[in-house]
């Protein structure tokens, strides 16, 4: 029964994303919130209807819908904490190793794809942390070659 509600929620969410988010940034938190909201609202309402409690089902539907819409607007409206999309969608695929970030370096006018370390992965000193204030780097230990 729960898988049916979850399947319906996923299908509705995919349709919403196809129509409204094509070519734009993608917030996975909002998608998880929509799937959860549809699952809870439809699951609770249908469970109450199946138990013969029509008034309870109607009140649950209206109350749960109001709560999810209120908190959805509060959490995902522009300027809120959860509205900021951490990455663009679809994600870019590169060959940087784990925990290294793709960075396009301007090397004497030529653009060069490199990988940089932003969090200090290397413990043996083979790769140093890329300084936050550096816009272009020339030290090859900071910018290993992108393969």
| CA 132 – CA 129 distance, rounded (Å) | 9
- Percentage above 90 pLDDT, the chain: 11
pLDDT at 144: 58
| CA 75 – CA 93 distance, rounded (Å) | 29
Give residue 3's pLDDT band: very low, low, confident or very high (50, 70, 90). Answer: low
Instruction: Name 29's Cβ contacts closer than 8 Å, sequence gap at least 6.
Output: 76, 82
**Rounded mean pLDDT, 120-145:** 65
pLDDT at 66: 93
**35-85 pLDDT per residue, tens:** 888 888 888 898 898 898 999 999 999 999 999 988 888 887 777 766 665
Length of the chain equals 147
- Locus of tokens 């870019």: 92
Q: 99 or 23, which is more confident? A: 99
| CA 118 – CA 72 distance, rounded (Å) | 33
**pLDDT of 123 over the 90 cut:** no
Question: What is the Cα 82 distance to its own chain's centre?
Answer: 10
Rg (CA), the chain: 23
Q: What is the mean pLDDT of the chain?
A: 75
Write b or e for each residue in 48-75: b if 16 or more Cβ atoms lie within 10 A of its Cβ, otherwise e.
beeeeeeeebeebbeebeeebeeeeeee
| 15 backbone dihedrals φ, ψ, rounded to 5° | -65, -40
């Amino acid at each position: 029964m729960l898988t049916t509600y979850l399947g319906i929620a996923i299908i509705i969410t995919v349709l919403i994303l196809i129509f409204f988010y094509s070519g734009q940034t993608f917030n996975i938190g909002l998608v998880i919130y929509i799937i959860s909201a549809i699952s809870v609202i439809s699951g609770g309402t249908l469970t109450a209807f199946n138990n013969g409690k029509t008034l309870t089902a109607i009140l649950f539907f209206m109350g749960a819908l109001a709560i999810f819409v209120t908190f959805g607007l509060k959490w995902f409206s522009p300027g809120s904490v959860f509205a900021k999309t951490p990455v663009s969608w679809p994600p870019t695929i590169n060959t940087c190793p784990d925990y290294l970030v793709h960075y396009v370096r301007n090397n004497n006018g030529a653009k060069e794809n490199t990988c940089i370390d932003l969090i200090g992965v290397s413990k043996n000193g083979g790769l140093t942390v890329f300084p936050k204030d550096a816009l272009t780097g020339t030290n090859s230990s900071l910018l290993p070659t992108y393969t």
